[in-house]
Amino acid sequence: MPELLSTLRKPDYSGGSIVNLMSSLLAAFGSEASPYPPLRSLQPERIQGFRNTILLVIDGLGYEYLRTRGAGSFLEQRLEGRMTSVYPPTTATAIPTFFTGYAPLQHGFTGWFSYFRELACTLAVLPFRPRCGGVSLAQTGIEPRSLSGVGTVFERMHAHSFVVAPDWIARSDFNTSFSAGAEIRGYQTLQQMADTIRSCVTHTQEPTYVYAYWPEYDKLAHRFGVSGDPVARHFAQLDAALCSLARTLRGSDSCLIVTADHGFIDTNPQHQLLLEQHPGLGETLRLPLSGEPRTAYCYVRPDQRDAFEQYANRELADYAIALPSGEFATLGFLGLGEAHPGLMDRVGDYVLLMQSDYVLKDWILGETPYIHYGVHGGGSAEELYVPLVVIAD
C-alpha cells in the first residue's frame, strides 16, 4: 500500500491549485486573508493592476488537451502554466471552490452524489435534489449553503461582481445560493456569453469581477470522448470566440483568466465496472456507492469491514486502491487545515481510487444506465491538471 500511495497524484494546495487561484483573486480585490496561500504563478499584485478581472471556467478543458491537441491555438499561445484542480477533480467539487474560495475539505462537497447525514439521503449536489429524483430541496426550505457553512467569494471581494452562466443553470437553486453578493446574468449561446461578459466590464468604472462558466465542452467530451472529432470542432469554435472576445476587451483595463474545473480521459467500455458484477463487494455495503465513478465512497456494514478489505484487495487489485476514508482525508487529497464538521459522513468508510481508465458504477432503482466515453474524477494528470491562461493585451 505505501508504494501505491506514493504514485497517487494529489492537488497542490500549498500554492499550485485552483484554490490558490481564488486566494490570489480574493487578495487582489481586498478580501481578508484566505487560509490558502495565493497561486505561485499568479500573485495578487499582478491582478491588482487591472480594473476588471474575468475568470472564465471552461468545464472539462484539461491542461494536457490544451497543450497537445490545442497546440497553436489562441488559448495555447497564452498558456502560462498548469494548476491542479481539487480532489476528486470534478464539477461538483471544483465549482463550489470557485464560488467559495475553499477546498472540499472546508466547503464540504465531495462528489456528484454525496450522502448528507443531516438530510438522511444522498443528493445529486448541483441539481440539489435527491438521487432518486424529485424536486430541488430548496423548495422544502433547505438552503444549499446550509450544507457548506462557508460564504461566497463575491461577499468578500471589494468589487462589483457578476456571475455569467447558461440560462438553464444561471438561477438554479445551487447557483443562486452560491452567487450571493453577485449579479447573475444568463445567456444562451457562445456569442451571447461573450457579449454578456463584455457588457459586465463596460457598465461602470468601479472595480469589477466576473465569473463566467461554459459547459458545452464537458458535455461533448462525456458523450463522444475527449479525443473525438466533435470535441475538437467545438474547441476550435470556442477558441475563435475567445480570440474575438479578447480583441473587443482591449482598452477596457481587463484581465481575462481562463481555466477549468477538471480535465478528461477516454475510457474503454470494457473498463466500466458495475457493482452488480461484484456481488461479494455489494454485500458488504450499507448504502449505494457515492462520490464519482472514478473516486467511489463506500459505506460499509460494521461487521463487514474485513470482508470489504479482503474483497477489494483481492478482486479489485488490478483496478482500484481501497483506502480508509480517514486516511484519504488526512493525506491531503481534499484540502489543508480544519475540516468541515460533516466531512467524514460524506466520504464514507473507504474510498476506491480507480486506476488507469477504470470506473465503477452502481445504479439505484429508477435510474437509466448510461455510458460516458470521456470520464473524469480520478488522479491521472489528464484529469487533475487544468490550464492557467492569462490574457491581458
Question: Is the confidence at residue 272, as pLDDT, over 90?
Answer: yes
Mean pLDDT across the stretch 133-152? Answer: 93
Question: Which of these, 106, 112, 32, 20, lies nearest to 335 by C-alpha position?
Answer: 106
pTM above 0.85, yes or no: yes
Residues 125 and 35 in one domain: yes
Whether residue 119 sits in one domain with residue 184: yes
Separation of alpha carbons 363 and 368, rounded Å: 8
Which of helix, strand or coil describes residue 176? helix
Q: Based on the fold, state whether residues 254 and 356 are members of the same structural domain.
A: no
Instruction: Report the SS3 class of residue 350.
Output: strand
Same domain, 154 and 190: yes
Pair (258, 275) in one structural domain: no
**Do 170 and 147 have their domain in common?**
yes
Same domain membership, residue 154 and residue 35: yes
pLDDT tens digits for range 274-291? 999 999 999 999 999 999
The set of residues, in sequence order, having a beta carbon less than 8 Å from that of 342 and lying 6+ positions away, is 108, 116, 117, 118, 147
Same-domain check for residues 145 and 276: no
Distance of alpha carbon 191 from alpha carbon 196, whole angstroms: 9
Same-domain status, 172 and 312: no
Does residue 228 share a domain with residue 301?
no
Residue pointed to by grid coordinates 481534499: 334
Q: Name the residue among 108, 157, 134 with its Cα closest to residue 344.
A: 108
Domain that holds residue 336: 269-373
CATH label of the domain that carries residue 303 = 3.30.1360
Each residue's pLDDT tens digit, 146-201? 999 899 999 999 999 999 999 999 999 999 999 999 999 999 999 999 999 999 99
Q: Into how many domains does the chain fold?
A: 2
Q: In this structure, are 237 and 313 located in the same domain? A: no
Co-location of 339 and 307 in the same domain: yes
Looking up residue 112, the CATH number of its domain turns out to be 3.40.720.10
Q: What is the pLDDT of residues 215-270, one digit of tens each?
A: 999 999 999 999 999 999 999 999 999 999 999 999 999 999 999 999 999 999 89
